[in-house]
Amino acid sequence: MKISNRIILLTGATGGIGAAIARRLAAEGGHLVLSGRDPAKLGQLATELGGTTQVVAADITTAGGRQELAEACARIGVDTVVHNAGTQDFNLFAEQDCPAVEAMLQLNLAAPMLLTRLLLPALQQRPRGTIVFVGSTFGSIGHPGFAAYCATKFGLRGFAESLRRELADSAIVVHYLAPRATRTELNSTAVVAMNLTIGNAMDDPALVAAKLVALLGRCRGSNSYIGWPEKLFVPLNSLLPRLVDNALARKLATIRAFAHQPQATERST
């Protein structure tokens, strides 16, 4: 199905990756339903994109927000869902605030699962439906300083895989897209500095958007990873985890030093 024939819900639309995805989908002729918490930011982005763009301001970490968004999508006739909203908190787990952990669990994992549950009945009435979960390379590779974040993305990957298999005999295609580090405000200055120091590459959000558009052209669901050597490290971590253990152990002192710098929890909305 061409992008121009799709009606696409995008959560976390005003974040760095979300806005890049919105712009790319709009350029491809997609009919967009942008969702986030901030009505003003959503309105500004919709005005920039023009066309048939619609906005639904909703907090998807609440039952009411998810219900409102699902009802709007059913009325509009959404056939494609891009779960992009997320938050991150870089810290050593023993020193991490409980509210930060809870926020990641709610937005990164519980919200897309529960929202998908509400969206499925309407999607199943469409000739074809697509669901994309935007995860992370850290959904396959546990990384020091990101234990709770990794847990949410590991969970999201497992949910996407299970749902894909559960819907294998339906007209709904399920994808999981895993970017590596990306240059957005989701990353604190400490994370950016750490990535530069230990050699973690960071991509432009436009690259993630381009990969997502390419993914939407596939007829079969898949897990898709962005970046090299991350594409190698994912199967390597599964087959020979001790090698990755040792590689990260050599960087642990540096990671700890950056984790002890002042942190601010960011959220892609």
| Residues forming the active site | 149
Residue 230: phi, psi to the nearest 5?
A: -55, -35
CA neighbor of 174 nearest in space, from 166, 182, 186: 166
φ/ψ of residue 61, rounded to 5: -85, -5
Q: How far apart are CA 185 and CA 268, in angstroms?
A: 8
DSSP run (H or E) holding 75: helix 63-76
Q: Which amino acid is at 215?
A: L
212 token code pair:
């997502």
Q: What is the DSSP letter of 226?
A: -
